[in-house]
Amino acid sequence: MKQIRFTIFFLTLSAAAITLFSCAQPPKDEEKTAKDAIAAARNAEAPDYASKEWLEAYQTVTMAESKMENKDYDEAKKLFLEAGEKARAAEKTAEKSKAELNTELTHSKETAQKAVDKVKTEFNRQHKKVSKESVTTIEMAIKDAESNLAGATELIAGGKLMDAKAKLTTASSKADEATSALARAMTAKHKPMASKPTLPRGKK
């Protein structure tokens, strides 16, 4: 009987010791998994395309590191697991946002290109009727629009979507500027001259 009690006591003590020992170990695997997820989210440009989710993941892993330093390993493990989940969510959100922006940029590029082509066609048809000063202004605006369109195309190919969006906005603005300048020039060219007042007969 005493032998059985001793055996039970020994097994209970051993189990407690194993549990205590396991809880006292730094959660290295969880830490690595969380930091790998953070790195993947960063590579997916989560700081730019999923800023809220990225910030939450980054702050959580920072708190986990602080718990590790204080040897609060249970809380550190919990936070590393949470940080990994948040980082993976940030990565998914970033990929989705980039896909949506890519679609938006494709449409914006087509719209800007049509605006440039339209004003160029009209300008080539009417430029002989436009003053030299207006010609210079319109040509510069068209040139700037085309330059920004080309720059946007390169940026899209390089995956720099935010910068490409800014370029396309400028391209559209310059196309509108050229269109407005051409319209003003044509209006001024065809504006009727004020007629001289008619004097009564017998008066000069």
Per-residue pLDDT of 192-203, as tens digits, reads 544 555 555 554
In this prediction, residue 13 carries a pLDDT of 44
Together in a domain, 148 and 184: yes
Together in a domain, 70 and 110: no
Together in a domain, 88 and 124: no
What sign does the CA torsion over 164, 166, 169, 171 have?
negative
Q: What is the rounded average pLDDT for all residues in the chain?
A: 86
pTM of the model: 0.71
Q: Which long-range contacts (CB under 8 A, 24 or more apart) does 156-161 make?
A: 156/102, 156/105, 156/109, 161/98, 161/101, 161/102, 161/105
Contact 148, 174 (CB under 8 A): yes
67 located within any domain: yes
Contact 64, 76 (CB under 8 A): yes
Closest C-alpha to 142, from 108, 109, 180, 104? 180
Predicted confidence band of residue 20 (pLDDT cuts 50, 70, 90): very low
Together in a domain, 88 and 104: no
Provide the domain limits for residue 133: 100-189
Together in a domain, 52 and 33: yes
- pLDDT tens digits along 126-149: 888 889 999 999 999 999 999 999
Structural domains counted in the chain? 2
Q: Got the DSSP string for 36-59?
A: HHHHHHHHTTHHHHSHHHHHHHHH
The mean per-residue pLDDT over the stretch 25-30 comes to: 95
Together in a domain, 108 and 49: no
Together in a domain, 104 and 184: yes
Predicted confidence band of residue 8 (pLDDT cuts 50, 70, 90): very low
164 located within any domain: yes
Q: For the domain that residue 120 is a member of, what is the CATH number?
A: 1.20.140
- With a pLDDT cut of 90, the percent of the chain lying above it is 75
Side chain identity at 192, as an amino acid letter? P
Together in a domain, 135 and 118: yes
113 located within any domain: yes
47 located within any domain: yes
The mean per-residue pLDDT over the stretch 40-55 comes to: 97
Side chain identity at 114, as an amino acid letter? K
36 located within any domain: yes
The mean per-residue pLDDT over the stretch 162-167 comes to: 96
- pLDDT tens digits along 67-118: 999 999 999 999 999 999 999 999 999 999 999 999 999 999 999 999 999 9
